[in-house]
Amino acid sequence: MSSGWLRKDDLAVARLAMVLLLVATVGSGCSLWRKDAAGPEVIEDDGTTIESTDLIEDELAGQPSLEQFEATGTVAAGGTFEDVNFAFDSVEFDAEANMAIRHNGDLLIGTPDIRVEIEGHCDDRGTSEYNLALGARRAKAVRDALAAHGVAPDRLSTVSYGEELPLCKEQTEECWARNRRAHLVDLSR
């Protein structure tokens, strides 16, 4: 099916809407996130409500990027695991990426009850379709490296967000470099 009549922005919005619908349908078994006229809030499993403005970046960092974005309109860096960064248009690991993989692998081996989702992210250069495919390849490369490090593959799932959930939005090389990453999220929370 040709999408030549749709603009890049229309495709990105449609893709994000589909991801949001899928997440809402499947659910994560954790907190319910919603945004309404009164502002974003988080409803915890025990029924307590926390305004997203009360959440600090460290609390957000351990949540999946899509949940962070739904709650606050932005994505936070950090969390238990180190992000694995990539060069432009690459899925190859440099020395720093290899150190992050070893660190994350050691953490996962030391905590066998944790399952993680590996999110693949890109900078905003290139088409949305290309960046979704590149994000998927980045997430898969990290999954394969963690499995080679000794982490059971059934504890590792992947998802690609392409360029849709950036850490920063400036049009600079430093910002683009921060957005080219694989982000690991603890699904056991």
Beta bridge partners of 161: none
Name which of 179, 177, 120 is nearest 144 in CA terms. Answer: 120
Sole residue written with tokens 């994350």: 104
83-94 residue pLDDT tens:
999 999 999 999
Instruction: Give the span between the Cα atoms of 7 and 42, in whole angstroms.
Output: 33
- Indicate whether 66 and 45 sit together in one domain: yes
- Indicate whether 115 and 166 sit together in one domain: yes
- The predicted model gives 112-122 an average pLDDT of 95
- Indicate whether 93 and 176 sit together in one domain: yes
CATH code: domain of residue 144: 3.30.1330.60
Q: List the structure tokens of 84.
A: 């694995």
- Indicate whether 65 and 102 sit together in one domain: no
- What does pTM read for this prediction? 0.66
1, part of any domain: no
Residues near 78 by beta carbon (within 8 Å), at least 6 away in sequence: 57, 58, 61, 62
Weakest-pLDDT range from 33-47, 120-134, 138-152: 33-47
Weakest-pLDDT range from 27-36, 38-47, 71-80: 27-36
Does residue 146 have a pLDDT over 90? yes
φ, ψ (nearest 5 deg) of residue 91: -120, 10
Residue 32's pLDDT band (cuts 50, 70, 90): very low
- Indicate whether 66 and 17 sit together in one domain: yes
- The predicted model gives 130-137 an average pLDDT of 96
pLDDT score at 12: 56
pLDDT score at 181: 96
Containing domain of residue 97, as a range? 84-186
- Indicate whether 133 and 163 sit together in one domain: yes
Does residue 39 have a pLDDT over 50? no
- Indicate whether 46 and 101 sit together in one domain: no
CA distances in angstroms from 57 to 54, 68, 169, listed in the order given: 10, 10, 17
> Mean pLDDT across the chain, nearest whole number?
76
Instruction: Give the span between the Cα atoms of 50 and 61, in whole angstroms.
Output: 16
Residue 35: burial class (beta carbons within 10 Å; 0-12, 13-18, 19+) = middle
- Indicate whether 109 and 156 sit together in one domain: yes
- The predicted model gives 13-37 an average pLDDT of 42
Q: List the structure tokens of 47.
A: 């029924």
**Greater pLDDT, 170 or 15:** 170
- Contact assessment for residue 77 and residue 180, using Cβ atoms and an 8 Å cutoff: no
**For 83, which DSSP code?**
P
Does residue 183 have a pLDDT over 60? yes
